[in-house]
């Protein structure tokens, strides 16, 4: 299973960001499946950009020449990317409040 670290990290950030923004508008029920569907062509190789799923899939189907340390570090990086995506979405949505007078 060939994969690139930067795609795994960026994908975990992106999915968390989009899902958090949708959750704040009560649309998370649709946003997560749509984000996964939009990334379906690449996401199965990256555990749908979920760190625990990525770690499980990678450890089950180890690539030759890919050390276990890089798999674990990538999974940890994906978890950090998810947290940064959630924080960024919270900051952006808090920085631009919706007007309630219209």
**Strand, coil or helix: what is 50?**
coil
Residue 8 in contact with residue 50, Cβ under 8 Å? no
Average pLDDT value over all residues in the chain: 81
Separation of alpha carbons 81 and 46, rounded Å: 14
Q: What is the reported pLDDT for 77?
A: 94
Is residue 2 over pLDDT 70? no
The pLDDT, as a whole number, for residue 100 is 57
Nearest to residue 85, comparing CAs of 13, 2, 1, 4? 13
Residue 73 has pLDDT above 90, yes or no: yes
Take residue 34 and report the two structure tokens written for it.
């749509």
**Comparison of pLDDT for 7 and 65, the residue scoring more:** 7
Closest CA to 11 of 79, 99, 91: 79
The rounded distance, in Å, linking the Cα atoms of 30 and 68 is 35
């Amino acid at each position: 299973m060939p994969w690139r670290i930067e795609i795994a990290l960026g994908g975990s950030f992106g999915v968390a960001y989009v899902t958090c923004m949708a959750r704040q508008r009560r649309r998370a029920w649709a946003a997560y499946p749509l984000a996964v569907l939009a990334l379906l062509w690449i996401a199965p190789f990256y555990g749908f950009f979920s760190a625990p799923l990525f770690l499980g899939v990678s450890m089950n189907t180890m690539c030759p020449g890919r050390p276990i340390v890089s798999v674990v570090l990538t999974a940890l990086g994906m978890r950090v990317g998810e947290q940064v995506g959630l924080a960024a979405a919270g900051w952006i949505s808090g920085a631009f409040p919706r007007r309630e007078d219209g």
